[in-house]
Amino acid sequence: MKQRDKVLILTPVKDAELFLDDYFEALFKLEYSRELLSIGFLESDSSDDTFSKLEARVIELNREFRRGQLWKKDFGYRIPADTPRYAHHIQVERRIALAKSRNHLLFHALDDEDWVLWLDVDVIEYPKDVIERLITTGKQIVQPNCVTHYGGPSFDLNAWRDHGHLHMHDLKAEGELVKLDSVGGTMLLIRADAHRDGLIFPPFAYGNENPLIRKDNFGEIETEGLGIMASDMGLQCWGMPRLEIKHRS
């Protein structure tokens, strides 16, 4: 693959100080030409030293990559003490804040890039050629299968089909590339023009009239809302269930 496309890697962060070393170690192993890679961060509502640690790192990114940038925007949301981030009762409020942070980062960082790669800070391992493999699918919206151990069930359950009944680990038998109705954000490649045309992460229930949403829902938010919005825009989401990336367990 001849590398010509410019890729913008975007990572919203919060209380991520302990994850940064692993994040940057994996980032610097990527085989994609650094002259074509830009990296952007938005730090929000942290209680640790995430922002100051990233300030120092961005200097290095600007030396090694096409561009490195960092912004700060607090949304006033914190997960209640002693509550895991996956607790059901906080998901709507938590993911509304995350959707806002993704959109804020996107609107600030996107310049002349061809692709946007959304990458969570606690994804710790992925193939060195993962960007090439995603781009060469020829799909405008595509993601790998995020797991906590290789060969195990999918970690990112926001990527689904059939009203949320089928996830990436359920779709491996279908082949290397499968259709999705919803996407997750652990690692997600999107054609930049789709964002420019209005594709965002809805910070509100979106798609009530779309038949792809989960039953008994009034719509979908954040990454799942983006998947439904993509459908409304005539775009198909895709997954690569056999291409696994590893998330911190």
Please report the pLDDT score of residue 92 as a whole number.
81
DSSP, residue by residue, 71-138: EE---S--PPTT--TT-GGGHHHHHHHHHHHHHHHHHHH-SS-SEEEEE-TTEEE--TTHHHHHHTT-
pLDDT interval class at 85 (50, 70, 90): low
What is the percent of the chain with per-residue pLDDT over 90, rounded to a whole number? Answer: 89
The answer to whether residue 14 is domain-embedded is yes
What is the percent of the chain with per-residue pLDDT over 70, rounded to a whole number? Answer: 93
Which of 15, 231, 2, 24 lies closest to 123 in space, CA to CA? 24
Diameter of the chain measured on Cα atoms: 50
- Helices 91-109 and 222-232 pack at an angle, to 10 degrees, of 60
The answer to whether residue 212 is domain-embedded is yes
Indicate the average pLDDT of the chain.
95
**Per-residue pLDDT at 107 exceeds 80:** yes
C-alpha torsion angle, residues 171, 8, 136, 146 (rounded to 10): -20
The answer to whether residue 1 is domain-embedded is no
Residue with token string 């692709």: 115
The answer to whether residue 2 is domain-embedded is no
Pairing of strands 115-119, 7-13: parallel
**Per-residue pLDDT at 88 exceeds 60:** no
The answer to whether residue 227 is domain-embedded is yes
Rounded to an integer, what distance in angstroms lies between the CA atom of residue 152 and that of residue 161? 19
Domain containing residue 231 = 7-247
Give the pLDDT confidence of 60-77 residue by residue, as tens digits. 999 999 999 999 999 986
Domain count, the chain: 1
The answer to whether residue 104 is domain-embedded is yes
User: What pTM, to 2 d.p., does this model score?
Assistant: 0.94
User: Domain of 105: which CATH number?
Assistant: 3.90.550.10
**Per-residue pLDDT at 87 exceeds 60:** no
Give the pLDDT confidence of 162-201 residue by residue, as tens digits. 999 999 999 999 999 999 999 999 999 999 999 999 999 9
The answer to whether residue 213 is domain-embedded is yes
pLDDT interval class at 82 (50, 70, 90): low
The answer to whether residue 239 is domain-embedded is yes
Average pLDDT over residues 90-107: 91
